[in-house]
């Protein structure tokens, strides 16, 4: 038997309902949270954010490779994530590097149930093999 989602009669526990209404955050606090939720509301953007959670900082090219999408699509989604306050960007020469904002990292770690202390890939080249590479030589 299907359950109707509405009450059949008007019943209101006014003191209880008013206490709840008074405690609700105002629109100025809710809107940024809604923007962030919309920003992560697409599976591609969620995968990009998860890649940034794991990789700490990535350029568009690396992010596209990791998530298996075109650079144009990834760039578009990164712009949306930046607008939503989930990622930040910085220019490094000819590349733009992206990383999660502190708030984006906190929301994503809760959303994906990931411990942020172990999420970042902290592998270090201790042999120094990467020192001799020319800039961009290790990129395709």
pLDDT in tens, 23-68: 999 999 899 888 888 889 999 999 999 999 988 899 999 999 999 9
Tokens of 28: 């100025």
pLDDT of residue 124: 41
How many angstroms separate the Cα of 11 from the Cα of each of 4, 23, 104?
16, 21, 40
Tokens of 75: 């760039």
111 HSE (CA, 13 A, CB side): 18
List of residues 6+ apart from 91 with CB closer than 8 A? 97
Q: What is the mean pLDDT of the chain?
A: 82
Q: Which pLDDT band holds residue 79 (cuts at 50, 70, 90)?
A: very high
The pTM of the full predicted model, rounded to 2 decimals, is 0.71
Question: What pLDDT, in 10s, does the model give residues 2-31?
Answer: 677 777 777 888 899 999 999 999 999 899
Q: Cα separation of 51 and 49, whole Å?
A: 5
Where would I find the H helices in 9-139? 14-23, 27-39, 43-55, 60-67, 71-83, 102-111, 116-119
């Amino acid at each position: 038997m299907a359950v109707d989602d509405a009450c059949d009669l008007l019943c209101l526990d006014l003191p209880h309902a008013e206490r709840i209404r008074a405690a609700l955050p105002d629109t100025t606090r809710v809107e940024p949270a809604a923007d962030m939720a919309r920003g992560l509301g697409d599976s591609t953007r969620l995968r990009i954010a998860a890649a940034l959670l794991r990789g700490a900082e990535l350029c568009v090219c690396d992010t596209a490779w990791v998530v298996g999408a075109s650079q144009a699509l990834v760039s578009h989604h990164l712009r949306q994530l930046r607008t939503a306050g989930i990622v930040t960007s910085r220019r490094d020469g000819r590349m733009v590097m992206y990383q999660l904002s502190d708030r984006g990292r906190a929301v994503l770690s809760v959303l994906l149930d990931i411990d942020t202390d172990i999420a970042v890939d902290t592998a270090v080249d201790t042999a120094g093999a990467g020192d001799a590479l020319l800039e961009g030589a290790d990129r395709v």
